[in-house]
Amino acid sequence: MIYLLDANTLIEAKNRYYQMSICPGYWDWLHKANQAGEVNSIRSVRDELQRGNDALAEWAKGQAPLFLDESDQATQTAFAQVAQYVASNALLMKTGAIEEFLGGADPWLIAKAMTINATVVTHEQLNLAIRRKFLIPNVCQHFGVRFVDTFELLNALEARFVLEG
């Protein structure tokens, strides 16, 4: 099983519970899980992270293998399906929701997951009643793409951060 990380999982980890200075083991684990072929993200997420001016932006620069390219034909085709789906629901949403969604990494993350049969890792929660924005889990559910949060990922891959001596 391949897991694809949403930007919010990395940003939240850096800002809160796995800050780079207090839990470097988490970031080392991400590198190892990527090397094992279990965890990836996409270049659009990398680009979002690198817009920042912080340790996470610097970290992302050194993690090229983590970020998969989305320019392949299969992902482009899947993106078109995602775009068509959100466009067909745009009238149900707040003005600007479609542009916000399609202008970011989220539809590409879902499209890449569709093409490689991956699970999306996000902190967004399924909420079919929401009308202010398109949520990753809502769109994933429509396309049959599995989604989990960071903690479900860590449990599934049996991550362990052990303090030594």
Ordered by start, the domain boundaries in the chain are 3-156
Could you tell me the fold of the domain covering 3-156? Answer: Rossmann fold (3.40.50)
Q: For residue 103, what pLDDT is reported? A: 94
Q: In this predicted structure, what is the pLDDT of residue 90?
A: 82
At 162 the pLDDT is 85
Nearest Cα to 45, choosing from 116, 122, 119? Answer: 122
pLDDT at 98: 87
> In this predicted structure, what is the pLDDT of residue 140?
98
Q: Is the dihedral of CA 152, 105, 43, 61 positive or negative?
A: negative
- pLDDT of res. 144: 98
Q: CB-based contacts of 133: which residues, under 8 Å, 6+ apart?
A: 93, 94, 97, 100, 101
Nearby residues of 116 by Cβ (< 8 Å), 6 or more positions away:
2, 68
Mean pLDDT of successive 10-residue stretches along the chain, which has 165 residues: 97 94 94 97 97 94 97 98 93 87 95 98 91 93 97 96 80
What's the pTM? 0.95
| pLDDT at residue 75, as a whole number | 98
